[in-house]
Amino acid sequence: MGFEPTNGLTGWVALSESNETSGCMQVIPGSHKEGMRDHDDTYADKNILTRGQEAQGIDPSTAVSMSLKPGQVSFHHESVVHSSQPNQSNDRRIGFAIQTYFSPATRQTKGTTFVQLARGEDKYGHFETAPRPSKDMDPGDVAMRDHMNKLWSDILYHGTDKRRDY
């Protein structure tokens, strides 16, 4: 994703039951100690990640499931090997990802992106600061969001000619 140093933290808030049957997130304990791993781009039909990314050399028997009840949250470092399996339940698995919270010293190396400060001031200037929305669905705010999404897509597909429709 182009963040350096790799020190980001992602939170995932469960809005519905998230368990092994519904395909909760699984992590490989201690995998963050090896740093960010290379990924193979598979573009597999059943892999909904942007490029169908898969880390290689992982022993799935060491994975630990992160089951959550609605309202609970899990946090993981961006270097932790993580995944989720297909939802085999009769219900939807719904959650909200807070992606990614990182220190102000982090910089983007693959393009321009925007941030909104949670608090304080930006002493580093590594990112563009997104304006706060002025009102619901303001045309200027919607255009800004579309612009930011295009820039983010360019970062996620950096170095590849193939893109998905999402």
- The rounded percent of the chain whose pLDDT value lies above 70 is 99
Would you state the pLDDT for residue 35? 85
Residues 51 and 68 in one domain: yes
Last residue of a domain, one of 63, 84, 102: 102
Residue 2 lies in a domain: no
Specify whether the CB–CB gap between 87 and 46 falls below 8 A: no
pLDDT digits (tens, 9 = 90+) for 30-60: 999 988 888 899 999 988 899 999 998 899 9
Looking at the structure, tell me whether residues 145 and 95 fall in a common domain: no
Stated pTM of the model: 0.79
User: Are 125 and 152 within one domain?
Assistant: yes
Q: Nearest CA to 96 among 115, 79, 72?
A: 72
Side-chain half-sphere exposure of 70, counting CA atoms within 13 A: 7
Q: Which of 102, 131, 154 is the last residue of a domain?
A: 102
- Which of 36-40, 136-140, 156-160 is least confident? 36-40
At residue 36, the pLDDT reads: 85
Q: Is residue 1 part of a domain?
A: no
* pLDDT score recorded for residue 101: 77
Query: Do residue 48 and residue 60 come from a single domain?
Result: yes
Pick the last residue of a domain from 56, 71, 102: 102
pLDDT tens for 105-131 read 889 999 998 888 878 888 898 889 898
DSSP secondary structure string, the chain? Answer: --EES---EEEEEESS-B-TTTT-EEE-TTGGGG-SPPEEE---TT--STT-EEESS--GGG-EE--B-TT-EEEEETTS-EEE----SSS---EEEEEEE--TT-EESSS--EE--SSS--SS--SEEPPPP-STT-HHHHHHHHHHHHHHHHHHTTT-S-----
Q: Are 134 and 90 found together in one domain? A: no
Same domain, 61 and 12: yes
Q: What pLDDT is recorded for position 19?
A: 97
Whole-angstrom CA distances from 48 to 54, 59, 140, 155 are: 11, 21, 30, 17
Residues 66 and 116 in one domain: no
For residue 42, the domain's CATH number is 2.60.120.620
Tally of domains in the chain:
2
Same domain membership, residue 31 and residue 17: yes
For 67, the domain range is 8-102
